[in-house]
Structure 1
Amino acid sequence: MSRRRSTLFLVYNLGAEMVYVLAQRLNSQNVPLKQAASAIDKIISMLTDWDLLMILIRPQEMFSHEKVKNIIEDIAQCSTMRLDPVSMDKLWDLITMVLKWQVTLSPTSNEVLNLSETHLFEIEKYVSNVETLEKLNRIQSCLSMLKEGLGADELKHLHSDLMSWLKEFNVKVSLLIKLELQTPDGKFLKTPNENNKTVLSNLGKNIYLSQENDKLAISIKEKRQREMNCLQNDLLGSVDNQGNAFKFTALKTRENNNVFDKIDVKREESNLQEIFNEFHINDNDNNEYDYD
């Protein structure tokens, strides 16, 4: 079989769908928002771990269903939230079937690449930790580089690789049936109507929670805004009681003092392009992930 990087796109798409499902469950079970945010953030941190990327990015045969399920299960179980075997099997059936529906409606490899980008940018709303956000941003950058740098053979076969891997999954998803996107006998429908036109035009986004009902994402967004306000106050001071002047505290401006010129913004992953250009497979690599 050909050695390509289709598994990378498979795992990140499934991982993002897993985040959506777990966020929905935490919302519906009224888990305290701080606890829920911590659990989802830990899962995203594990999904975007650099060591995992280094395994997935190797040109290689598609991972088996068992191996991919092991990866997803390890990530799902990494936080304080635990799923029993029955729940884990249900989660697996749901995310594989929803991804199959999405890939079926994305008939070209370029559309699959766009779907993957959407997934990785959408889960950002569930990130509540700065370190996790940095890890996710790094994976987003890697995916953008891959999107631009995939060889002709990989680009040609990406869609067919994923469809071939997903073909054995034939579960009926109640939400897809309710939205008239799947028939009761399991076939996918592509005809837009009032119930599903928004979902069809936003493949890769969360189909379980609307923006208005996503309490977890809303609370994380509000927390970020509070942190940003605090940062602005620390840097620029706050408006006085009359609301017409700033009291600069942490940062005092002085003439010819180019403070921002001295900030080192160099990132250690600035050589990411070299990874894609000069990646060599080493069968003796040692890492925490062992899915062989």
Structure 2
Amino acid sequence: MSMRTLPLVFINLGGEMLYILDQRLRAHNTSEDNSEKGVWSENDRKRVMNDIVGTMFSKAFMDELLKPQQLYSHRTMKTVLTRLAHASIMRLNPASMDRLYELMVMAFKYQVFLCLRPKDLLLISYNHMDTIREFVKDTPMAVNQVDETHRKIIETYSSFTEGELQLLRQTLLTFFQDMHVRVSLFLKDQIQNPNGRFALTTSGPVPHGTDVPGLIRIFDCRGREVRRREFPSGGSYTSSIREGSFELHGNRVIRLGMNMYTVDHPEETHTSRAPSVKTDGSPNPLAKEELNLLARLMGSMKTENEPKDESGFRINLFNTDKEEEEAGASGSAEESLHGVINIQAMQDEQAASELARIAGQFAEEEEEKKEEEEEKPENPSNNKGEELLAMMDDL
């Protein structure tokens, strides 16, 4: 496992989060000032972008992040990104944050899959930082912070060998391997299967400077080519005419790390899980939207009479409050990944007392384990996450 993966994960997931929040805030934006109560203005949007970018790229925070360390779990990473999202006047409830995190991870995962070679992972980060720089171009201090981070990333990763970059890629793939959330934009473009897994083609350009597969060359002991043998490659490959990675789907070119929300996709950026089983026979009001891929994550619909949080504005990543409540009731994103099933059945008195006795034994064992763990030294990875959160609070 690479010890240098965390900075790239944080920067790229943070970049995807800024893309989504910027699009969402623009959808709620109706005026240049605060003339309309309860509606995000352009000044509010700029303030949110500046505050989040200022916290995300602060010198002390980045210096700590760039130290060699293990990659965080999804739970810890989501906690850090939630704190980052709340660094400004904006507030997200847990259900909206779960939805936001799922979309961020799936977008970054797809970009990693598009990398023709491990070195292209750096292109994703560079393109994210270029777009973030545009978000705060009117704030020189924030621009300087992004520029300084860009310089440190180049300084840190430009000297990596192909083997180190490949190890970094493998660490990222391990981080992504259990995430298979369906995104309607990807489903519509047929780059994601209904089960949430991406459909990768065996055709297209090969990495820059690499030969098209299908030819075996045999050399003698002096390094001279003595004969050639061709074999079917199983795909239609072409030579890459330029440095960098692009993927063409329909009439749309996807470039690594670029903001896919700038193009008008009014009903295509929704994440969904497998539909839940209903036993009451009532129709599911969201079924039609899921089947037709018309559920919107980044839609322009406004919710009426939203309660205003005292500490800042509230932003909802669902179309309606009803969807938000249903998502919150259905559990967190992590629970859905592991397919947790709760079963409750009626028990007779004897069985109930037996279960209570067994539960008591488990409780005693848990207490003993807890006491043993308290005596052990703390996990350095958890300490690192707590240090970053504390540092973020101080900014």
| 2:257 corresponds to which of 200, 204, 211 | 204
CA contact (8 A) 1:13 1:99 kept: yes
In the other structure, the counterpart of 2:389 is 289
> More deviation in 25-34 or 146-155?
146-155
Q: TM-score, normalised by structure 1?
A: 0.68
Count of aligned residue pairs for this structure pair: 216
**1:114 and 2:126 aligned:** no
User: Structure 1 counterpart of 2:389, which letter?
Assistant: Y
Point out the structure with the larger strand share: 2
SS of residue in 2 equivalent to 1:198: strand
Which structure 1 segments of 5+ residues have no match?
214-282
Q: TM-score, normalised by structure 2?
A: 0.51
SS of residue in 1 equivalent to 2:82: helix
Which whole-Å CA distance do the structure 1 matches of 2:114 and 2:2 have between them? Answer: 25
Identity %: 27
In the other structure, the counterpart of 1:145 is 155
Q: 5 Å matches for 1:19-168? A: 19-30=18-29, 31-127=40-136, 128-150=138-160, 154-168=164-178
- The alpha-carbon deviation at position 210 of structure 1 amounts to 2.8
- The alpha-carbon deviation at position 185 of structure 1 amounts to 2.5
CA contact (8 A) 2:119 2:162 kept: no
CA contact (8 A) 2:131 2:258 kept: yes
Q: 5 Å matches for 1:253-292? A: 289-290=389-390
CA contact (8 A) 1:6 1:62 kept: yes
CA contact (8 A) 2:124 2:257 kept: yes
In the other structure, the counterpart of 1:223 is none
Which whole-Å CA distance do the structure 2 matches of 1:3 and 1:95 have between them? Answer: 22
In the other structure, the counterpart of 1:175 is 185
**1:194 and 2:247 aligned:** no
User: Structure 2 counterpart of 1:114, which letter?
Assistant: L
CA contact (8 A) 2:64 2:388 kept: no
User: Structure 1 289/51 Cα, relative in aligned 2: closer, same or farther at 3 Å?
Assistant: farther
Alpha-carbon deviations, 1:74-114, whole Å to 9, x = none? 11111111111111111011101111111111143201111
CA contact (8 A) 2:17 2:100 kept: yes
User: Structure 2 counterpart of 1:184, which letter?
Assistant: P
CA contact (8 A) 1:4 1:154 kept: no
Structure of higher CA gyration radius = 2
Q: 5 Å matches for 1:229-240? A: none
User: Structure 1 186/287 Cα, relative in aligned 2: closer, same or farther at 3 Å?
Assistant: closer
User: Structure 1 counterpart of 2:250, which letter?
Assistant: E
User: Structure 1 17/168 Cα, relative in aligned 2: closer, same or farther at 3 Å?
Assistant: same
In the other structure, the counterpart of 1:6 is 5
Which whole-Å CA distance do the structure 2 matches of 1:55 and 1:152 have between them? Answer: 25
Moved over 4 A (4+): none
CA contact (8 A) 1:107 1:159 kept: no
Which whole-Å CA distance do the structure 1 matches of 2:112 and 2:106 have between them? Answer: 10
Alpha-carbon deviations, 1:147-179, whole Å to 9, x = none? 312356532311111111111111001111223
Query: Alpha carbon RMSD of aligned pairs, Å?
Result: 2.4
Point out the structure with the larger helix share: 1
- The alpha-carbon deviation at position 193 of structure 1 amounts to 3.5
Alpha-carbon deviations, 1:37-56, whole Å to 9, x = none? 11111111111122221222
In the other structure, the counterpart of 2:337 is none
Alpha-carbon deviations, 1:194-241, whole Å to 9, x = none? 24x312xx1211111239x9xxxxxxxxxxxxxxxxxxxxxxxxxxxx
- The alpha-carbon deviation at position 69 of structure 1 amounts to 1.2
In the other structure, the counterpart of 1:232 is none
CA contact (8 A) 1:52 1:289 kept: no
